[in-house]
Structures are given as structure tokens and as C-alpha cells.
A and B are shown apart, each in its own frame.
Chain A
Amino acid sequence: MPAAQELFDCRKAWATTLESLAEEDTRIVAVVNDSVGSSNLGGFQARFPDRIVNVGIAEQVMVGVGAGLANGGRVPFVSAASCFLTGRALEQIKADVAYSNYNVKLVGQSSGVAYGELGATHHSIEDLTWLRAMPQITTIVPADPWETEEAVRWAAAHDGPVYLRLSRMKVPDLGPDADGARRFTPGRARTMRHGDEATILASGTTVHLALNAADELAAEGIDVRVLSFHTLNPIDVDAVLAAAEETKAIITVEEGLKSGGLGGAVAELVTANTPVPLERIGFDGFQTTGDAETLFAKAGLSADGIKSATHRVLGRKSKDR
């Protein structure tokens, strides 16, 4: 594990990418709920003052206006703290965006437990469970600045609803895929590390933790596969089933509820197709107040926690043999 990895706030990649896309594509507009600062859209507002609609503290109309802008030929990026965007406006997301199939890009900021100290009202750990119930919305959880930029570019070009789940927690640049190239294809997990004894499927802010755990496991002589599982909808069925069939042990890691999110999705697929031992790391319900690092550690969202889960799943795998 490198001594001092440079860390990045992915909101910078989101904002600079959106600005450069907006320069080329005049259809792009931003819609916010008094969240210019928290969405890091000050630069966008300065460059395109007429193309940002700030509805105020009003998430229902924010999402409805997004659908209306799409009706009028615009490509709206509706950006707000995930907890309010998905929680307050869930029915608008269902009816106005998913069911109406409007070309709206929902951008959840400060997701997961980024607002750890502010308490469970401001945590957004339920959002992926809710959004997974709407497969019409492509749901992407980028893990680093490069995945963030790729996801924003793809969302702008894609004709259909998208949920981008971003964080303000700083993360390292993950570098290339295991085979040396960088490939971002929505719906296809990235293989960040080869391995055949178990597979860690991680998303967003947890992928770098999974890679650190894999390094430490390698030092113990255990080779695990690591996937950056950036797309929750549509899920990469092939990658999940290949992990089950080829490595016969799976660990899922996510900054969200284990039930219904990535862990839930993988459990559904694996039990129905190739039952293998599975450990899910994530949150179980409302979290206490605490900084994000503390909440991560408590849930086992750490290199140590992932290593322990890997040892547990390997123990079950050997018993099964």
C-alpha cells in the first residue's frame, strides 16, 4: 500500500466535466435546490448563468422541473444532496423520471455517510436500495475522479434517465484496470485485480479499500479478484456469475445499505444461479452520528474489515468442499 496516496474530491471532476460538456452542448442545464455550493457548481453558474435553475429548497418541484425541461428538449442535470434528492422526491423520480422515461440526469451529492456528523437524516444510505427498484434509471456509483468524468460524459450522451451517485469523500485515483487499460462501460464491472480464490465486488468510495485489502491478502498468499462495480442498474450479471463460478466465494462492499443495494443484488443473482459463500459489507440501518471514517470502520468498510470478511468467506468455502 503506497505510503501517501494523493486523494481527490470527485465533485471537482463532476463539475469540470459538466462545464466542458455544457460548452459543447447548449441543451445541458443544471437544476439545483439551493445546492450550488454543495454541488460544486459555482463555476458552472459563473460561466452559464442562464442555464442553471435554482428552485430553492424544494426537491419535489426540482425533479418535476427536470422532467419538464427534458420535455422541452433540454438535458437537465438535477443535482442535490442524495438524501434529499432521492428521499424527498422519490415519487417524482418514480413517476416523472422513470415511468415517464424522461431524459433527466439525477446527480446525488455527498452520498452515503459523507455527512456523518449530521446524523441519519443527512446520511444517504438508502438511495441505492430505492433506485434499484427502478431499473429504468441507469444507476452509476463512480469510484474515483476518472470514473466520475466518464460517468458524467456517458450520462450526457445517453438518451434516458440516469442516477449518478457521487461523494465528497476524498479517494485516490484507482489507475487502470488489471489488464493495463482503462475501460468504463456502464453495465460492465471493471476488473481491477485478477485473482481466483475469492472476488470482492466493491463500489464507489470503497473500491480503493478493497484494493488495499487485496494487496494485504496477496502478502498472505491469497489472490482475490477485485471488481469496481460502478453500475448497479443494469447489473453486470456476467461478472457476478463469473465471480461465483470461477472463484466460488464473494464479498460485496458498499457505502450503503446491504439490503437491496449491491449486496442484495448479488445475493439474489448468486443464490438463484450459483450458490457460493457470500459476505456483504455495508450498513444495516440508521447510523449513529460520527465522522465518516468512524462509521466506515464500525461497519467493516476498511481494508481490515474486508480482509476479515474474506477470511470468513474462505473458511465457509473450504467447509463446503
Chain B
Amino acid sequence: MTLTAQKAPTEGVISHIRGRALWMRRTALQMVHRKGLGHIGGDFSATDILATLYFGVLRYDPQRPDWDGRDRFVMSKGHATGALYTALAAAGFFPEDMLQTYMQPESKLNGHPNRNYLPGVEANTGPLGHGFPIAVGIAIAAKLSDASFNTYVLTGDGEQQEGSNWEAAMVAAHHKLDNLTLIIDRNHLQQGTRTSETTALDPLDEKYRAFGWDVVDADGHDPVSLLDALDPSTRDGRPRCVIAHTIKGKGVSFMEDKAKWHHGVPSDDEYAIAMQELA
């Protein structure tokens, strides 16, 4: 199997990922501020994960978005389009200028992604608990065809409350999908409050282990930690679950770990302060 993730990532790769992540956060904040809509808290908790995937892990060709051999990334937390669209633009799937149209009438950049008119999108997610089952199907297709591509899916942590994920977890373990990686953006917050105050998820790691998964923890804001956790060469015949420990709103002090920034929109003053911090 050809690997893109590197056992000992060079400083160059790490600093490139960090640079792209900073650009993604600044751009996503601009998009949300301009439109007055979005999910900036979840965008920021997922940004480093997406930057690591697109600039350190995934094999893809933006000129051939439907290339059969591409690694698949399914964005199950489809509301975090500020992170997804900036990653796809940075990866070259469409021009960065298009980001200015975010959620404008007739824009290809819906509030939730649409594969039918946006290259690089694998599934039209939005309702939660959909991307993971789809990723399981993709990984089964790869096994049926003896194809070497890997499939990655990112869910929110609150999203794990959707029962369809646990159907998918059982099916993936049964089929020994060692070409599948589930990443859980473990920021401990959902729309209204903390996951622990809603329907508690812990022990999430033990749950996935009991379901037959290889579970690893990662610092979801550290590309070195993420690259290590996402390294496909360390697979042991089971699907892998990476619990990426994150902070919702990461990167802007007043947004961090605050439920109100799930879909909060910064005022002009807040925007100016946030952009100063994201430098």
C-alpha cells in the first residue's frame, strides 16, 4: 500500500499544515462574518484535523476529483463547512474566490456541502449520523475491488448520539475494515450545552473498543499527534477510531469552549479582535 502519511513527518510538512490551518481559520471567520451565518465553533475545532488530512494524509488529485484511486474523506459533521470549504479551496479543488459566495443565493457553497456541484465533496451531509455509514460502504467497496485507497470520516462528538453511527460501527468491525478511519471531533460541546449534560458519551474509547475497533487518542490541534494517529501503516486488521481531543472555537480566546459559538456570529468588534488573535 502506498502511504502518504509519513512516519517521521518533516518540519516542512508540519509547518505547511500549521500555515494552511491558520489561513483556513482566518478565511472561515471572514466567510461567517460576511454572511452572518455559519458554525464557527465547530469549524475551528475541526480545522487542524482537516488541514492535517488534506496536507499530510490524503491522496487526491484536485484536477481529477472523481479519480477512482483517491482516498475518500467524508465530512459527516456537514455543518462545519467553514472548515471543509477552506480545506477544499486550499487543496485546489476550486478557486479561493468562490469562498466569497459562502451561503449567498445560488452559491455552490451551501451551508451544508453538495457533491453534485462542488468537486471534492463525497456526500451531501448535514443531517447527522449519515457520513459514517456512507464511509463504511465506501470502505466495503474498496475491499470488494481490492483497491488500496483509504477512507476517512469525521463526525462531531455530539453526533455520536445518533444511533446510525453505532449501526455503522458494528458493520465496520464485522467486515474488518482496516481501510477505514473514523475521527471523532471530541470538543465536549454540542449546540446547546456540554455533551456530558445532554446524553453523556464517555467512555467513548471503551465503547468503540467493545465494538471491535482499534482506538487511539490524539491532540486534535497538533498535526504531529494527528499524523501519528492517522498513519495507515500501523493498522492491525481492525477499523480505527481516532478520538481527536479538541476545543470548540479553538484559536480565538473568547470563543474557546463556549457553546454559544456553535453558530454564533462575531460582531465587527469581535471580528477585529479575533483576526488579531489569528495572526
Question: Are A96 and B130 in touch, CB under 8 angstroms?
Answer: yes
Residues of B within 8 A of A67 (CB): 123, 133-134, 137
| CA gap between A157 and B100 in the complex, in Å | 40
Of B114, B137, B147, B171, most A-chain CB atoms within 10 Å: B137
Q: Known contacts A53-B140, A71-B123, A72-B141; is A58 also within 8 Å of B171 by CB?
A: yes
Task: Indicate which residue in B141, B163, B167 contacts A68 across the interface (CB closer than 8 Å).
Answer: B141
Task: Indicate which residue in B127, B137, B147 contacts A65 across the interface (CB closer than 8 Å).
Answer: B137
Task: Indicate which residue in B115, B133, B145 contacts A100 across the interface (CB closer than 8 Å).
Answer: B115
Of B72, B126, B130, B139, most A-chain CB atoms within 10 Å: B130
Residues of A within 8 A of B147 (CB): 72
Question: Are A66 and B123 in touch, CB under 8 angstroms?
Answer: no
| CA gap between A55 and B164 in the complex, in Å | 12
| CA gap between A91 and B125 in the complex, in Å | 11
Of B124, B126, B129, B168, most A-chain CB atoms within 10 Å: B124
**Residues 203-222 of chain A: 1 if any B CB is under 8 Å from the residue's CB, otherwise 0?**
00000000000000000000
Residues of A within 8 A of B124 (CB): 95-96, 99-100
Residues of B within 8 A of A69 (CB): 137-138, 140-141, 144
Task: Indicate which residue in B132, B141, B144, B170 contacts A71 across the interface (CB closer than 8 Å).
Answer: B141
CB interface residues, A 58-96, toward B, < 8 Å: 58, 60-61, 63-74, 76, 91-92, 95-96
Task: Indicate which residue in A56, A60, A65 contacts B140 across the interface (CB closer than 8 Å).
Answer: A65
Would you give the shortest CB distance from A61 to chain B, in whole angstroms? Answer: 4
Q: Known contacts A61-B164, A68-B141; is A73 also within 8 Å of B136 by CB?
A: no
| CA gap between A95 and B124 in the complex, in Å | 6
Residues of B within 8 A of A60 (CB): 129, 133, 163-164, 167
| Overall SS of chain A's interface | helix
Residues of B within 8 A of A74 (CB): 141, 144
Question: Are B145 and A64 in touch, CB under 8 angstroms?
Answer: no
Question: Are B136 and A95 in touch, CB under 8 angstroms?
Answer: no
Determine whether A29 belongs to the interface, using a CB cutoff of 8 Å to chain B.
yes
Determine whether B197 belongs to the interface, using a CB cutoff of 8 Å to chain A.
no
Determine whether A122 belongs to the interface, using a CB cutoff of 8 Å to chain B.
no
Question: Are A73 and B141 in touch, CB under 8 angstroms?
Answer: yes
Q: Using CB atoms, name the residue of chain B closest to A66.
A: B137
Q: Using CB atoms, name the residue of chain A closest to B165.
A: A61
Residues of A within 8 A of B144 (CB): 29, 50-51, 69, 72, 74
| CA gap between A55 and B177 in the complex, in Å | 14
Question: Are B138 and A71 in touch, CB under 8 angstroms?
Answer: yes
Q: Using CB atoms, name the residue of chain A closest to B123.
A: A100
Q: Known contacts A55-B167, A58-B171; is A72 also within 8 Å of B137 by CB?
A: yes
Determine whether A101 belongs to the interface, using a CB cutoff of 8 Å to chain B.
yes
B contact residues vs A (CB 8 Å cutoff): 68, 72, 114-116, 122-127, 129-130, 132-142, 144-145, 147, 163-164, 167-168, 170-171, 175
A contact residues vs B (CB 8 Å cutoff): 29, 50-51, 53, 55-56, 58, 60-61, 63-74, 76, 91-92, 95-96, 99-101
Q: What are 6 sample pairs from A and B whose C-beta atoms fall under 8 A apart?
A: A64-B168, A65-B137, A68-B134, A69-B140, A74-B144, A76-B137
